[in-house]
Amino acid sequence: MSELIAPSDIRWPTRKQEAWKYTDLAAWSKLMPEAFSLAQPQPKARPTALWQGDCSRRLTWLDGQFQADWSHGVAPTDTQAEPASSEALSDLITHSRRQAHSLSLSGDDTCVHLVLAQDAEQDALSHLDLNIDVADNAEITLIEEHLGGRAGLASTQINLTLGNNAQVRHVRLQHTSAQQMLIGGQHVRLSNYARLFQTHVEWGGRLSRLHSTLALQGEGAECHYYALSGLTERQHVDHQVEVRHEAAHAISRLRARGIVGDSARQVFNGKVYVARDAQKTDSDQLLRNLLLSDKAEVDAKPELEIYADDVRCAHGSTVGRLDDAALFYLRSRGLDSTQARRLLMLSFAERVLREIGDEDLRDQTRTAIADHLSLQTPA
Amino acid sequence: MLKIENLTAKIQDKDILKGINLSIGAGEVHAIMGPNGSGKSTLANILAGRDSYEVTGGSVLFEGQDLLELEPEERACAGIFLGFQYPVEIPGVSNMTMLKAAVNARRKAQGQDEATPLELLQKVKKAAQTMQVADAMLQRGVNEGFSGGEKKRNEILQMLVLEPKLAILDETDSGLDIDALKVVSDGVNALRSAERSVVLVTHYQRLLDHIKPDYVHVLAGGRIVESGGPELALTLEEKGYAWIGDSQQAPA
């Protein structure tokens, strides 16, 4: 296997494919490095994760390769890589340096920290498949962090299965370095009365795409998807979310907020599908975006596809700017306009940040995203 | 302390202030009364630096410096406080967070170190006690879900913590029941001293039963058409603003 591969040697999805309409990787490939590295990453300094608290397992990968020295608790199991679940990405994944692992989580794994680091010394092209099974009745906190990197492209596919009555609080933080690209996929299956609380916060990377399929397969299952991005310069974040109500009495909530400055772009497509048998579905989705500059762009689209007749499904989408009256209010109290803008951005972000249960992690995340947003030139 | 000379201002193409002259000395309380649309709130907002109004002429000196040249935050740090007619809600940012930023901005402008958490807490708690604001409200978002009366009490609480030299209170009495009016008035009276001045912008005489002004001015049609002592407010209460219209030439 050659140690290098040129982006031009890969067949990328294009905007002709509906799901890639706003993230045309074929066009993006012109902006990518001349060649990606397929070499083994060289673990040197342990990456600094935001979350430093206690956890039963901390599992660290570098460019998709598991790092036992930087991990504790039971290691993941190597598994056979399955064929790529996304046809659009199959050529990319085939050409990437690829690993596949699986984790079985029980009630003993109260808190699991997944550190998905990228090497800062090469532009790696890597893919990681991770299958996570959560046992019936287990209650688990998952903290997934994406960090580090250079101008490489890391793809991940996480398949998360929640057993009956399992509960997962999943916080996903994406703060990779400024030129890193990420292509993420997650396929979550919820059994009877399983509950998933996901909070996605992104402020890193050049390009970050996340395609989520959240399948409520069991009766009375519940899924809460909260997303927040804070974007500056030319950052691009694209969330494609499909919630599938396949059984009765399930609940879903989608709440996405974007703070989009400079020439950044935020895409959010939320689709809620309700099958014929999924009676008494209770679903709503609310997309709110804050534009901080005239060059920033937001594409937000809530969608519904309903085949059952006794359901409650609501959706809404708003785009706004920082409120002048609120800015003046804070400045009249002595805050300069940078501080005032920072507090108003945090006010907007807090609706999502408050979903992060751990207070330290919430405070660190709040500070990190506010610091990132404060770097931009005021419009 | 504050000297306004021949101040004129417009919003979009509409002239609102048509030549305001007003001097406020240290320790004085001035009430500015007048009918709706007379320019009272415009004057209050211009003094605090709101940029949606365009000052077209005249001057404002605050302790000898040209106030109109300063940004809103510079005016605040120099000692000006505006109590808003409609206080803004900032959900998710606690009162404490905002007060800390405000207190420290002022201290920084004065070349002082940041307030210690204990100093700040003591100051805020004392103000909260005066304003009968529960501790839980300090941890809530700024004015988030507050009733009209709670918002106004919160304005005065902020004023007590920030200890301005000149407090301009824009219809702080509107929307208050009698008990809340008493609390708000007690708060304002607690700030009164030989060094601090207060401008009360109000429609009604009833606030002035609790906060006794040294001077009362009537603003109508963008001008101060009458000035006097506290007795002027009583005359207005009795005869209404129409009396001013009768005793003056109709404004252009």
pLDDT of residue A76: 96
Q: What residues of A are in contact with residue B72 (Cβ under 8 Å)?
A: 328, 331-332
pLDDT of residue B245: 60
Q: Is B158 on the interface with A (CB under 8 A)?
A: yes
Q: Which of residues 185-214 of B touch A (CB under 8 A)?
A: none
Are A114 and A146 contacting, i.e. CB atoms less than 8 angstroms apart?
no
Q: What residues of B are in contact with residue A348 (Cβ under 8 Å)?
A: 92
pLDDT of residue B252: 40
> Is 0.90 surpassed by the pTM of this model?
yes
Tokens, residue A130: 């991770």
Distance CA B159, CA B127 (A): 9
Burial A329-340 (b: 16+ CB within 10 A, else e): bbbbbbbbeebb
Residue B34: how many CB atoms within 10 A of its CB?
Answer: 25
pLDDT of residue A377: 60
Predicted complex ipTM: 0.95
Q: What residues of A are in contact with residue B77 (Cβ under 8 Å)?
A: 334
Q: What residues of B are in contact with residue A330 (Cβ under 8 Å)?
A: 90, 98, 101
Q: What residues of A are in contact with residue B106 (Cβ under 8 Å)?
A: 334
- Between chains, do B90 and A336 touch, taking CB under 8 Å as contact? no
Distance CA A371, CA A349 (A): 13
Distance CA B146, CA A80 (A): 58
Q: SS3 for B63?
A: coil
Burial A241-272 (b: 16+ CB within 10 A, else e): bbbbbbbbbbbbbbbbbbbbbbbbbbbbbbbb
Q: Which residues of chain A have pLDDT under 50?
A: none
- Between chains, do B92 and A350 touch, taking CB under 8 Å as contact? yes
pLDDT of residue B64: 94
In single-letter form, the type of residue at position A119 comes to D
Secondary structure E strands in A27-166: 36-37, 57-62, 65-66, 77-78, 97-105, 111-118, 125-134, 139-148, 153-162
- Between chains, do A329 and B90 touch, taking CB under 8 Å as contact? yes
**Option in A323, A333, A353 nearest B102 (CB):** A333
pLDDT in tens, A247-293: 999 999 999 999 999 999 999 999 999 999 999 999 999 999 999 99
Q: Exposed/middle/buried for B168, CB within 10 Å: 0-12, 13-18, 19+?
A: buried
Q: Which residues of chain B have pLDDT under 50?
A: 249-252
Share of chain A above pLDDT 90, in %: 95
Tokens, residue B69: 């040249």
Residue pairs between chains A and B whose CB atoms are closer than 8 Å: 86
DSSP per-residue codes, A187-242: EEEE-TT-EEEEEEEE--SSEEEEEEEEEE-STT-EEEEEEEEEE-TT-EEEEEEE
Nearest to A255 by CA among A353, A140, A169: A353
- Between chains, do B76 and A323 touch, taking CB under 8 Å as contact? no
**Option in B51, B90, B105 nearest A344 (CB):** B90
Give the residues across from A197 on adjacent strands.
A169, A224
pLDDT of residue A290: 97
Give the single-character DSSP code of A96: S
DSSP per-residue codes, A276-323: TT-TT-EEEEEEEEEE-STT-EEEEEEEEEE--SS-EEEEEEEEE---
pLDDT of residue A80: 86
pLDDT of residue B247: 52
Q: Exposed/middle/buried for A297, CB within 10 Å: 0-12, 13-18, 19+?
A: middle
The contacts of residue A27 (CB under 8 Å, 6+ apart) are A14, A15
Are B164 and B79 contacting, i.e. CB atoms less than 8 angstroms apart?
yes
pLDDT of residue B249: 47
Q: What residues of A are in contact with residue B71 (Cβ under 8 Å)?
A: 331, 336-337
Q: What residues of B are in contact with residue A353 (Cβ under 8 Å)?
A: 92
pLDDT in tens, A66-98: 999 999 999 999 998 777 778 899 999 999 999
Give B237 to chain A, closest Cα distance, Å: 32
**Option in A328, A343, A348 nearest B72 (CB):** A328
Are A308 and A278 contacting, i.e. CB atoms less than 8 angstroms apart?
yes
Chain A's closest residue to B78, CA to CA, is A334
